[in-house]
Copies of this chain bind each other. A is one copy, B any other.
């Protein structure tokens, strides 16, 4: 049975302010919750319509389907909703390839990008402070559990890039053809905001401007979506490592 205070707490976590205050975020659905339970993330509380997972009694509340509907953000709630603690971010490993986002705003895009980092073995995703929060429930849903395996750091991107020792690549509409570049196994790849691309301030830290060539029609779509551009760039940076 859900208490009013529990409903109030869960609902408040829609807002970044309250996620930060309580240091908690929401994961919905059995599959996602299983991934977080099997990771280093710490469970705060589990609400479910059936006792699917083995968790301490004091961390579990059996609820009805109509109670789940009250707290769920999904159109078709999937038996369970859990609150996990927001972990401390680990230090960024600057000796590896790092992906950096300059103000990506769409939760679906960030979720897809975190999933891509996981697939391509990118351990560190660094985000400008204005990038959408990775503990936003839409992002968490879109990552399909990948958030448990990618270290997402929010920081002042300008300060981070100023101190970074390796090459900084930036994705632009005009730049060197990414297919013709020697791409290293360390450094930073920066992708910009959906509408405005990489900001002028961050652009000054880019050593190499790279671009995904457009084929055929010059009238073609004005740009690729930031998540599909990320897919292609990570594939290009990583494909070499299988050929070695």
Cβ proximity bits A188-218 to B, threshold 8 Å, 1 near / 0 not: 0000000000000000000000001111110
Which of A14-22, A69-77, A133-141, A142-150 contacts its partner?
A142-150
- Find out whether the CB atom of A225 lies under 8 angstroms from the CB atom of B177: no
- Which residue from chain B places its CB closest to the CB of A142 in the assembled complex? B225
Measured in the bound complex, the distance between the Cα atoms of B156 and A127 in whole Å is 45
Residues of B within 8 A of A220 (CB): 118-119, 121, 146, 149
- Find out whether the CB atom of B221 lies under 8 angstroms from the CB atom of A144: yes
Residues of B within 8 A of A115 (CB): 221, 224-225, 228
Measured in the bound complex, the distance between the Cα atoms of B116 and A217 in whole Å is 12
- Find out whether the CB atom of B144 lies under 8 angstroms from the CB atom of A242: no
Verify if A83 is at the interface (C-beta below 8 Å from B).
no
Cβ proximity bits A100-134 to B, threshold 8 Å, 1 near / 0 not: 00000000100010011011110100000000000
Measured in the bound complex, the distance between the Cα atoms of B211 and A153 in whole Å is 31
Measured in the bound complex, the distance between the Cα atoms of B239 and A177 in whole Å is 10
Residues of B within 8 A of A236 (CB): 235, 239
- Which residue from chain B places its CB closest to the CB of A238 in the assembled complex? B215
Verify if A56 is at the interface (C-beta below 8 Å from B).
no
Measured in the bound complex, the distance between the Cα atoms of B115 and A23 in whole Å is 39
Measured in the bound complex, the distance between the Cα atoms of B243 and A108 in whole Å is 33
Measured in the bound complex, the distance between the Cα atoms of B235 and A177 in whole Å is 12
Verify if A227 is at the interface (C-beta below 8 Å from B).
yes
Residues of B within 8 A of A119 (CB): 212, 214-215, 220-221, 224
Measured in the bound complex, the distance between the Cα atoms of B235 and A229 in whole Å is 10
- Which residue from chain B places its CB closest to the CB of A179 in the assembled complex? B239
- If A120-B216, A180-B242 are given as contacts, then 14 extra A-B residue pairs at C-beta distance below 8 Å, sorted by A number, are A108-B108, A112-B225, A115-B221, A118-B220, A119-B224, A120-B215, A143-B221, A149-B219, A149-B220, A149-B221, A179-B242, A179-B243, A213-B242, A215-B238
Closest 6 CB pairs of A and B: A121-B216, A121-B215, A228-B231, A231-B231, A179-B239, A232-B235
**CB pairs A–B below 8 angstroms (5 shown):** A115-B221, A143-B221, A145-B221, A227-B228, A231-B232
